[in-house]
Amino acid sequence: MRLFKILLLASMTAVLASCNGTAKPECNDGHQLWFYSMDQDGMNLSEEKTTMAIAANEVREYWHGEQAVLFNVLETKDDVLGPEGYRLVFGKDAVAVDANTETGILYGTYDLLRRQETGKVLKEGTVTEVPAYQYRVLNHWDNPDLTVERGYAGQSLWKWETLPETVLPVYEEYARANASLGINCTVLNNVNADPVILTPEYLQKVKVLADIFRPYGLKVFLSINFASPKHIGGLKTSDPLDKDVAEWWNKKAAEIYSVIPDFGGFLVKANSEGQSGPQDYGRTHADGANMLAKAVKPFGGIVMWRAFVYDPQAPDRAMQASLEFVPFDGKFDDNVIVQIKNGPIDFQPREPFSPLFGQLENTTVMAEMQITQEYLGHSNHLVYLHPMWKECLDADTYQKGEGSTVRDITTGKLHGRPLNAIAGVANIGDSTNWCGHHFAQANWYAFGRMAWDPELSSEDIADEWIKQTFTDDKDFVDPIKALMLESRENTVRYEMPMGLHHTFSSEGHYGPGPWEGSIRPDWSPKYYHKAGPDGVGFDRTMNGSGNVGQYHEPLASLYGNLETCPEELILWFHHLPWDYKMKSGETLWDTLCHTFQQGIDAAAGYIDTWADVRKFVDEQRWNEVNVKLIRQAKDALWWRDATMVYFQTFSNMPIPEDCSAPQYTFEELSKVRINITNYETPDLDVLPEYEL
């Protein structure tokens, strides 16, 4: 056994860091993330860039406990811990961090420090932690021109034009943040991939990042353009069954691994939204995925093949992934993972889980969650997303009877699969505070903690983040935690309640636009809400599109029957008349109006809650969050007005008197056009101005 003892030395120096160069409590720019409780005097990273040196430095700089800290890299491997797990053994005089690997030691170190900052250090006892998912992945949708698709926090973190020569400190800070959460994989570029990322010039740039990330246990992956053999390889085809194409990918994989020996593999978006894929040549998803899988397999790589596909002529987009992938169940190689979005449409504020999770019994599948808030107010709205993700992971598919949860399918527990993964579409940019909204940092944090342990509660994760990011004072923690835990459900109320979906404006997916048409029917809100004089909602019963039939019983009957369909999804699965009587006795119209109003009232209440805790927060962060909360409350009114005054043109029913009156007419709201910059930030000057 190798034994490392870390001396308990308080840092004798401090790097003063704040937005104006002086250590003022009223000035905090948020760059310290959830390390704020430790890093108030600056971020002191290890000068030596080895995993053990990094772990030792974190303890030396930030551990304030009375016990000594011992690092034990086990010579006799513990099968329970695996390559990344660890064990914290608390004793009277020392805390031992035991692990099979140095990476496990680093993860254990960050757990120890997290426990210190959240008051969970034990006097005596043992804690054993092993990650539930082998691959815990951030998907960056960053482009070589520094734009970020669906990114709301500035430009790309990766400055491709200055790499490999210029190495920014933020690259290591990023790796440290991910290691503190147990995130171990990062896909650097957009799934709508530019083939240039695979050129020798760019691989050298990628190598620099991979070298920085490696000591933190973070592997690099790349999204690839399926037509790369044609675009940069000089071939006339990218047909996956063409031997020259397969050989090109074999050589490209060997080239990548010669530059980055621990390269993780490829993420692929194919035959979706105009992206090239095997279907261009009459081949299948399995043909394309397996060709790539064979290229990376000799090096230990994997292929994550996205199931986000849909036919613009299909009668129900929600059914497309299952229709395309179920015929090839069991046909994918063992180092292929089919990556499925949490819901069957596209990261809507609320969706049922994708039926594909329950239909692929002989294929390794993984969940893709969206951390960036594409349909949830971008970086202007406070929306804590973990409850939404947990709703999906805890959902029972009934694939093998009761208890066949999405969590147990994707962790491999249900089918005994050795390979498993989970992905989150990152919300990170080069904004000083990383995510554009101080509270959006909580979603990056929550994804990492969930990827390590999907059974953690939303409350526990929020509690951890608040205490490390702001303060552990109960008078701050309790009201802010309550606000966070309610925020996702409340956003559903003021944006798309009761199963409504895809009613946003096509201009950047920021505000409402239920009246809009599109060049493709499935890009139009009308395709989904189907509002008309006869009512509203998408009929997905067996008398409609038949989508309910893609769910196992009892879900097919549950969703298909009006008497049993959950009301939060009723307009997802049913088309109902405006005067339909809900379980409360109210009409559908009045229930919609009252649900929107609940959302409006709660969003306005965020402003009051934030005012009540002002004394606990530095002035800069308090002011920046307050401005966003005001915008959010106004946007809630805008969503209600736009949706219900438009629907009113069909229902001819009044807004109930106990709801606030709309401040704009349909004619006024239908003329709103949102300008979106290269970084997809809405021009707030063109939004309707609301009185709160």
DSSP sequence for 217-256:
T-EEEEEE-TTHHHHTS--S---TT-HHHHHHHHHHHHHH
3-state secondary structure of 357: helix
Amino acid type, 486: E
Of 128, 155, 162, 177, the C-alpha closest to 444 is 177
Pick the catalytic residue from 346, 396, 507, 618.
Answer: 346
Q: What are the E-state strand segments in 147-205?
A: 185-187
- Asked if residue 662 lies in contact with residue 644, where contact means CB atoms within 8 angstroms, the answer is yes
As a whole number of angstroms, the distance between CA 133 and CA 369 comes to 14
Half-sphere exposure of 608 (CA within 13 A, CB side): 6
- Asked if residue 421 lies in contact with residue 447, where contact means CB atoms within 8 angstroms, the answer is no
For residue 423, the cross-strand partners are: 137, 368
Of 169, 142, 173, the C-alpha closest to 158 is 142
- Asked if residue 511 lies in contact with residue 379, where contact means CB atoms within 8 angstroms, the answer is no
Contacting residues for 81 by C-beta, under 8 A, at least 6 apart: 74, 87, 98, 99, 100, 104, 128, 130
Q: Is 26 a catalytic residue?
A: no
Q: Is 351 a catalytic residue?
A: no
End-to-end Cα distance, the chain:
64
CA 535 to chain centre: 34
Residue whose token pair is 């029972």: 396
Of 455, 302, 431, 306, the C-alpha closest to 372 is 431
Pick the catalytic residue from 239, 287, 351, 374.
Answer: 374
Pick the catalytic residue from 26, 161, 273, 608.
Answer: 273
For residue 421, the cross-strand partners are: 135
Helices assigned H by DSSP within 302-416: 320-325, 386-393, 406-410
Amino acid type, 548: V
- Asked if residue 232 lies in contact with residue 182, where contact means CB atoms within 8 angstroms, the answer is no
Strand-strand pairing, 2-6 and 68-73:
antiparallel
As a whole number of angstroms, the distance between CA 505 and CA 524 comes to 9
As a whole number of angstroms, the distance between CA 487 and CA 377 comes to 12
Phi-psi group of 132: left, alpha or beta (phi > 0 → left; psi -120 to 50 → alpha; rest → beta): alpha
Phi-psi group of 121: left, alpha or beta (phi > 0 → left; psi -120 to 50 → alpha; rest → beta): beta
Q: Is 346 a catalytic residue?
A: yes
Catalytic residue IDs: 273, 346, 374
